[in-house]
Amino acid sequence: MAILVTGGAGYIGSHTLLYLKEKKEDVIVLDSLQTGHRDAVIHGTFYEGHLSDRGLLDKIFTSHKVSSVIHFAADSLVGESVKNPLKYYENNVLATYQLVNKMVEHGVKKLVFSSTAATYGEPTSIPITEELPTLPTNPYGETKLAIEKMLKWADQAYGLKSISLRYFNAAGADPEGRIGEDHNPESHLIPIVLQAALGQREHVSIFGDDYPTDDGTCVRDYIHVLDLAQAHYLALQRLEKKEESGIYNLGNGNGFSVKQVIETCRAVTGVEIKAISSPRRTGDPAVLIASSERARSELGWSPVYPQLDQIVQHAWYWHKHNPTGYNR
Ligand code: UDP
């Protein structure tokens, strides 16, 4: 039996493929390569295509014995989602509808879904537990929440069991440097700071230094991408055993400010990275820190790389050896 991984050429998807390879799982990968990289797919049978291609989904589900799906394929830029929300409704909600519809048609009843802390919006308390209200402040979070709700009703109506994983700030890379993070444009803090360390950027802009935090900059919970990968595998195992849907936060439960992240990058790289205070970025909550107690107790999840300096070291190894990403 095989696992279908949509979006397997993306950052978190490709690291999950690596993890599944180590677990000797049979994998089918579907990715449009619009934002993903073919070279990042280091395991599995690869299909290039969109979730909107119903014929392709039929072909995959009929020519392979697919037992379950891990669904990463999505658009994930918050700023872009505000400017072009319909693109997000099409590529996230509608595309997932197509996938779920085909899963029901072909009798595939287990799904692990790539969700996000953006479903909470501005949290009412810290650390964030899964019970907190979900009030997204942008279309990206809104479309991910809409999918979680679609999955809840699909369970009730068709018995399709799903686990939604709400990631906090994914970071780091394969410690051996085979794959890593490569977004274009890059918008995430750690790769941007490392690009500055490589001299590819003149400086890093700190988006806001007047937040109600210790040093005035935003605090986030950074989680190693391979620890996220581990959680997807455990979620699949739970679906096999328990046949029960659920929602889980994934973070280390430790917050680091933007200034602390830049300091850590300076220490790891040995480069005096220039940082400049800039205006706040719209829609950034001051503090996002996860409670992942539920994932630990119910999935048996235990992060292997919880230290920020280790996360940055692995990211740095990748960026230093692949300064132009997969375009090498
Ligand atoms: N950030 C920043 N400068 C940058 C990119 C990000 O100050 O060039 C800040 C951003 O405002 C947020 C934190 O770094 O507080 C993490 O941002 P990122 O985009 O990596 O992840 P997000 O928290 O938006 O998911």
140 given a catalytic annotation: yes
Q: Catalytic: which of 140, 233, 305, 317? A: 140
pLDDT given for residue 283 in this prediction: 84
pLDDT given for residue 328 in this prediction: 76
Exposure class string for 275-307: b at 16+ Cβ within 10 A, else e: beeeeeeebbbbbbbbbbebbeebbebebebbe
Report the atom number in ligand 1 closest to the C-alpha of 219.
Answer: 15
Query: Which residue carries 């009412």 as its tokens?
Result: 124
Q: How far is CA 71 from CA 8, 90, 165, in A?
A: 9, 15, 11
Shortest-distance Cα residue to atom 21 of ligand 1 = 188
Structure tokens at 148: 């979680």
Look at the chain and count its residues: 328
Shortest-distance Cα residue to atom 14 of ligand 1 = 189
Residue type, 239: L
Query: Which residue carries 């790289």 as its tokens?
Result: 269
From the list 7, 19, 6, 5, the residue with the least C-alpha distance to 173 is 19
Cα 241 from Cα 164, distance rounded (Å)? 17
**CA-based end-to-end distance of the chain:** 35
Report the atom number in ligand 1 closest to the C-alpha of 192.
Answer: 8
pTM for this structure? 0.98
CA 200 to chain centre: 25
* Distance (Å) from CA 189 to ligand 1 centroid: 5
Q: Which runs of E-coded beta strand occur in 57-157?
A: 66-71, 110-116
CA dihedral (316, 197, 118, 95) positive or negative:
negative
Report the atom number in ligand 1 closest to the C-alpha of 118.
Answer: 25
Q: Is 182 exposed, middle or buried (0-12, 13-18, 19+ CB in 10 A)?
A: buried
* Distance (Å) from CA 76 to ligand 1 centroid: 14
pLDDT given for residue 135 in this prediction: 97
pLDDT average per 10 residues of sequence, the chain (328 residues): 98 98 98 98 98 98 98 95 97 98 98 98 96 96 98 98 98 98 95 98 98 98 98 98 96 98 98 98 93 98 98 98 93
Helices vs strands, H then E, count in the chain: 11, 14
What is the SS3 assignment for 179? Answer: coil
* Distance (Å) from CA 188 to ligand 1 centroid: 6
CB 23, CB 233: distance < 8 Å = yes
Shortest-distance Cα residue to atom 20 of ligand 1 = 188
CB 135, CB 120: distance < 8 Å = yes
What is the SS3 assignment for 149? Answer: helix
